[in-house]
Amino acid sequence: MRTPHRRRGAIGASAFAGLLCATLLVAPASSAVPADVPTDVPAADAPTRADHTTPYKNPRLSTEKRVDDLLARMTLAEKVGQMAQAERVDVVDDPGQIAELGLGSVLSGGGSVPDGNTPEAWADTVDAFQEQALSTRLGIPLLYGVDSVHGHNNLHGATVFPHNIGLGATRDPKLAERIGHITAEETRATGPQWTFAPCICVAREDRWGRTYESFGEDPKLATKMSQMIEGFQGRQGQLDDPDRVLATAKHFAGDGFTVFGTGEGDYTVDQGITQTSRAEFEKLALSPYIAAVKKHDVGSVMPSFSSVDWTDDGLGNPVKMHANKELVTGWLKEKRDFDGLVISDWRAIHQIPGTYAEQVAASVNAGVDMFMEPFSGDPVGYPQFIETLTSAVEDGAVPTARIDDAVSRILTAKFELGLFEKPFTDRRNIDEIGSEAHRRVAREAVAKSQVLLKNSHRTLPLSGGDDVYVAGSKADSIGDQAGGWTISWQGNSTHQIPGDTILDGISAAARGEVTHSPDASAPVPAGAHGVVVVGEHPYAEGFGDVGGPQWGYDPGETELRPPLTMQISEEDTAAIETVCAAAATCTVLVVSGRPMIVPPDLLGQIDALVACWLPGSEGRGVADVLFGKRAFTGKLPVTWPRSVDQEPINVGDADYDPLYAFGHGLRTRR
């Protein structure tokens, strides 16, 4: 998923919509439209009332019967419209497109927020779009999606949890389920009923800029933590509750171990090629989806941008996942009986070889059901998708049965979410967003995610009565500790969100004097314990790859910055050396989305080393273990290498010689 960019050079959406509707929304002569289909436009609130005379509007009937009835009433144009998803930016100035094109869905990409970015503004925006959907001939409600990947992270004021790599360190699936439930409650209270989470990929290459979106390098760990799905969706029959959302297992499949250097440029691992045998792919990439589908009944699946190249075939013919019928239809839908919907990633079909018509047909025929086709600065978007797919069906390139299957899956999700009865935002939980109760769970998650890598002379936990000297670039930066996918797509060091920095937590926990000097230029008081907080700047996909074009990228920025390296910066290294030479003890906290390289000479100066990951809004959770309020219990979800040259390095490798092994984590007592 990406951030939206306002389109440039696109054709006028309203003009195109009017033309398209005039040609497509008229049922073909051969269409068998039931006699009781209304020809007038229903009132916006009509779908909120039970209608026992029209089967698809009758909540007493089974979902299957309602879907069958509604599908039989739909024209080809109405069906294809349900398969198209636009971005908020594309329709906010002309929401009539939703009705004119019969769009099935709208999303907010990373950083795509309404003016003010308040819960009420979100709900008002979603409801305004919903009014347009309900004004259509059949009144099919809109499905609204958002990337709530560590809380409702686009929304200012939401509870921001640790990213998945930190949750993997907790080894606590029940905690992940609780986090999923809170995230669902905060998300649905603002309108969206669908989250593009969780990522159950298995990160086997830490140079990948999405490593922190993974629970870890072991497929068993990813499978275990996929219980978060039940937090999002609830148990069977709970999806229409006001505190649940449709979940998405992503990215199907193999995005966590694409080969370094197989993407755009010689550095990229994002959107690259997974070169592996079928057996290894089944074990490492596909196995978490078995639990997601069979055990947790996930409602949707998102394919990966990446390709797979079967090495045991020896053909050297990588196939994009969005066009991989063998896996999407064959393995997922047929072999694993997945009955949810498959949603494409952000404009991902444009990476399939061929013309746009060939790309659309290949992906639909492969088994993708709904298409995320924002304009994003390109002249081709959701209107062209609708036109192209309609022609493909009329020309026989895409079977009508494939369209019916896709639309049935989309409608099923909408019925199970209760949108036909209650299409507008249920705001009863809006005051719970960012509540103390929710932040307590986030703080617990932060504490449980901390991994104590080194603890010479029992340096930790610190005594609350001692003086503490705090240094390092990340000690007082809530934007850095929240990471990417926070407020904006890539995140930003300057972002301010409600919560506590690590420095705030230390200041609250310590009873002695706390001195803060980011660059360690202030004198270290005699006898003070040193804490140096270092790490990475925020990033997300693409720009987070080691060697990538820049770090901290934000659509509003123009400054090009140094590429990421997994190395501790020179400034932070200098701060560590200064503090370790002068303080009574020297503790280093690493705030990052993956392991960072700690050279042997630097490691020798450090008394205690902690992997903090990306803790989110609750920096006090770090202080809880630092000062012994909670014990250190976290374990490494990925292998910690000695050098970047060791990448990729994973448990079970031949000649496995990391700095800290997968599963390593020292414990302390409270």
The catalytic residues are 345, 541
The rounded distance, in Å, linking the Cα atoms of 258 and 274 is: 4
Q: How many whole angstroms separate alpha carbon 149 and alpha carbon 578?
A: 37
CB atoms within 10 A of CB 353: 10
Give the pair of three-digit tokens for residue 648: 């990729």
List, in order, residues 6 or more apart from 324 with CB less than 8 Å away: 303, 308, 366
* Tokens of residue 341, six digits: 């919907």
Query: Is 622:614 a contact under the CB 8 Å cutoff?
Result: no
Q: What are phi and psi of 95, to 5 degrees?
A: -65, -15
For residues 229 and 183, give the distance between their C-alpha atoms in angstroms, rounded to a whole number: 11
The b-or-e profile of 455-477 (16+ CB within 10 A means b, else e) is beeebbbbeeebbbbbbbbbbbb
Q: How far apart are CA 108 and CA 143, in angstroms?
A: 11
- Token representation of residue 182: 């809170």
Rounded to whole angstroms, what are the CA distances from 358 to 24, 406, 437? 21, 18, 51
Give the DSSP H/E element, type plus range, for residue 276. strand 273-276
Q: At what angle do helices 356-366 and 400-416 cross, to 10 degrees?
A: 60
Hey, what are 392's tokens? 């493909």
CA–CA separation, 306 vs 272, rounded Å? 5
